[in-house]
Amino acid sequence: MVTVIDFVVQLLVSLVDLVGIFIFEILLGVDPITAVSFLVGAGLTTATIVYGAYLALGALVNHLTGLGSSARDSAPDRTAR
């Protein structure tokens, strides 16, 4: 069974391997267009994950504390004319 520590260690090792693969096999091994497309894809993926995490965290904070909620606590009083 995989533990959380094993997972984090494997994740960090994979990250280091990814940087090595990018530098030695993509950036230095092929044309610059491939390197640019790799960087653009990585940037878009990272931005999407960060934005989704930001929205999820905001929704969690809103749910737990009510901060940032746009709904009013009570309906406005309407008087008959």
The string of pLDDT tens digits covering residues 13-29 is 999 998 888 788 877 77
- In percent, the amount of the chain with pLDDT more than 70 equals 84
Report the candidate in 7, 4, 42 with the shortest Cα–Cα distance to residue 21: 42
Distance CA 53, CA 12 (A): 20
In the chain, the amino acid numbered 4 is V
pLDDT band (50, 70, 90) for residue 69: low
Tokens 């504390």 locate to: 65
Mean pLDDT (whole number) for 3-13: 95
Its pTM stands at 0.55
